[in-house]
Copies of this chain bind each other. A is one copy, B any other.
Amino acid sequence: MPDADTIRLDDLLTDIDRTGPVPLYFQVAQALERAIRSGEVPAGARLENEIAIGKRLGLSRPTIRRAMQELVDKGLLVRRRGIGTQVVQGQVTRQVELTSLYEDLQGSDHEPSTRVLEHDTKPADEATAEALGVAVGSDVVYLRRQRSTDGVPVAVLENYLPVEFADITTEQLEARGLYQILRGRGVTIKVANQRIGARRAHGDESDLLDIDRGGPVLTMERVAFDNSGRAVEYGHHCYRPDLYAFETTLVAK
């Protein structure tokens, strides 16, 4: 039987739009997430069972279940068989997104800017060829950029792209993030394998990041694939560790 502390979701979810293009499960998930983040549904609260919520909203159990699964995957909810569903105690759980640094910085109310340090077409070395799935020595686009936020340098970005992107201009790169440019050309990044580490700053990196020579930098190496499964970007980047870090939410399966 539902306990006294079970949260009911009456008025939170009255605005379901069955005509629009937004999936029902998504609308429910969004409304519930909003209620949790606003504190309307407090941390640790126990939710009603799936059938009851479905009945109240006039939706089937699978639809409700899928909505809740979204929030489980985001680390906001925890489910236990025979027990029920509860809100995770942790404070505002951040979301990991597959975005570029540019959009990351945009989202946090800062004004990102880019200086293109190098922009060439050159033959692929072994690592690049392997990552992009092209022949060693075949042409690839090479980019080296300095990324700043509010005028302070944050990262040095090195990227390799397939030759098909040779017509991207330096002006475009100074105005927008790489992923935004790719999306404008109909290329959607769907999957990325990345590796995060640390090392000393090399060569001109200390000057470009305005840190001590040989000081620590945070590094990220990434291979990104589009929605057809093809590798479209390979990069290794380094970040000023006092200005940037990677936040993640992990969920056990």
Contacts and interface: CB of A to CB of B under 8 A. Distances in A.
Interface of A: 43-44, 75, 77-78, 80, 86-91, 93-94, 96, 98, 130, 133, 188-200, 215-218, 223, 225, 227-231, 241-242, 244-252
A227 B75 CA distance: 11
| Complex copy number for this chain | 2
Ranked nearest first, the 8 interchain pairs of A and B with the lowest CB-CB distance are: A216-B216, A197-B245, A198-B198, A198-B241, A198-B218, A88-B229, A75-B191, A98-B250
A92 B188 CA distance: 21
A22 to B, nearest CB: 14
Main secondary structure of the interface of A (DSSP, over half): strand
Nearest to A246: B196
Given A78-B228, A89-B133, A200 B223 contact: no
Contacts of A44: 229-230
Contact of A194 (B223, B229, B247): B247
A89 B77 CA distance: 33
Contacts of A89: 133, 225, 229-231
Contact of A200 (B215, B225, B231, B248): B215
Nearest to A221: B245
B231 A195 contact: no
